[in-house]
Amino acid sequence: MSSVHLKNIVKRFGSFTAVHPTDLEIPEGHFVTLLGPSGCGKTTNLRMIAGLLDPTEGEILIGGRRVNEVPIHKRNLGIVFQNYALFPHKTVAQNVAFGLHYRDVPKSEIPGKVAAALELVQLPDVGERYPKALSGGQQQRIALARAIVTEPDVLLLDEPLSALDANLREDMRVELKRIQDKIGVTTVFVTHDQSEALAMSDKIVVMSAGRVEQMGTPEEVYNTPASEFVANFLGASNILDATCRDVSGGTAQLEAPLFGAFGVPAAKAGGVSPGPARMVLRAEKLLIQPPGTTAEGQVQAEARIETVDYQGQTVRYFLRVGDTQLQAINMIDERPFEEGAAVTAGFRPQDCAALPVEAPR
């Protein structure tokens, strides 16, 4: 087990910069997720840690040791790939035992270690089968067993759940987290799926276009997005123009054309100074209520529902306030409002965050 440190890493492919200068520290035993859309550089970072790509600039440290010149097979890693990458010509047991043959493990101990790894992934009885005979979820468990049986310093997960069915994906998510907790290995997880990232990570690194947008715990990233990109990528957000009147006493006073004046906790308005600003309101925090509802401490506006996207447990409304379209995701209380209904949309000021206006990129 070791920490991982990407020190001012840069990766260019010809004239294209895949990863802009990035500094990333992953403490020992942590589960860190690199989250972002495809092409954001998350996989490039993972492959540089793995030694499958060389950084153009900067250093990679594993356990404090520079590994830039260390080839992949000497880095003591475990990698789980999106498409399992099991060896089709070897049995499951031979697959799991593969890495042990390249380490100083006495031959007599190999079967025991293989059995323990298969036990850990809850597939103790498939050792004699070939990978082809297993389902996708089972294959991915075997791939995980193969990656951890060697007790790697770092476990790298490259979209390991993306090839699985939706139901299976959620089971595997829980399973993966359980196993990681149990063995406590430093883990770098790459995904484009925000719910996987939120559910599993100690820390999330949100990336976009080769840059780190935000680094923080799932709650921090979700509740106090550092940029409009993060606010939009993790869940659905309403991002509106606003004006900041004053920041004092732990509160930032905002004024928005649709909702009037209200105060946002300064902790959720990092970097905002008096002048133009942006307000970020998560769709789940915008409550849709019968017209004329008044609620203590709520900032409200009259709205009209345009589209109802019924999802069983929740409903997603697209509504119009003045000439602005907003979205709201609410739990369903009996039955949803109908399309065209006049409603009162409101939110608690402390649920709103504020961002400085971003310079166009």
Partner 1 sequence: MTGLGWHLIRGYAILVYLFMFLPVAVVVLLSFNASQFGSFPMTGFSFRWFVELANNDAILRAFRTSIILGLLTALISTTLGVLASLALVRYRVPGANLVSTLLIAPILVPEVVLAVALLLFLNFLGINKSFTLLLFGHVIFTLPFVILVVQARLVAIRRDVEEAAMSLGASPIQTFFQITLPLMLPAVLAGALFAFTISFDDITGTLFWKPGGVETVPTQIFAMLRNSISPEINALGTVMIVMTVGLPLLGAAIARTLSKKSGL
* Interatomic CA distance for residues 71 and 66, integer angstroms: 12
Q: Which residues within the stretch 130-159 sit at the binding site for partner 1 (CB under 8 A)?
A: 130-133, 143, 146-147, 150, 156
DSSP character string of 118-156: HHHTT-TT-TTS-GGGS-HHHHHHHHHHHHHTT--SEEE
Smallest gap from Cβ 36 to partner 1, in A, equals: 21
Distance CA 93, CA 75 (A): 23
Identify the residue among 7, 17, 39, 98 touching partner 1 (CB under 8 A): 98
* Number of residues lying near partner 1 (CB under 8 A): 33
State how far the alpha carbon of 195 is from the alpha carbons of 46, 155, 169, 204, 207, in Å: 20, 20, 11, 11, 15
**Minimum distance from residue 186 beta carbon to partner 1 (Å):** 15
The reply on whether position 42 binds partner 1 by CB under 8 A is: no
Closer of 150 and 208 to partner 1 (Cβ): 150
Q: Which is nearer to partner 1, 93 or 143 (by Cβ)?
A: 143
* Span interacting with partner 1, options 86-94, 210-218, 310-318, 326-334, rule CB under 8 A: 86-94
Binding to partner 1 by residue 211, rule CB under 8 A? Answer: no
CA dist., res. 19 & res. 10, Å (int): 5
Distance CA 345, CA 268 (A): 21
Nearer to partner 1, 61 or 85 (CB): 85
* Contact flag: residue 73 with partner 1 (CB under 8 A): yes
3-state class (DSSP) for residue 26: strand
Q: Where are the beta strands (DSSP E) in 217-284?
A: 237-248, 251-256, 260-265, 275-282
How many other CB atoms are found less than 10 A from the CB of residue 16? 8
Q: Considering the complex, what minimum distance in angstroms separates the CB of residue 345 from partner 1?
A: 48
Q: Please give the residue ranges that form the binding site for partner 1 (CB under 8 A).
A: 50, 52, 71-79, 81-83, 85-89, 98-99, 101-103, 130-133, 143, 146-147, 150, 156
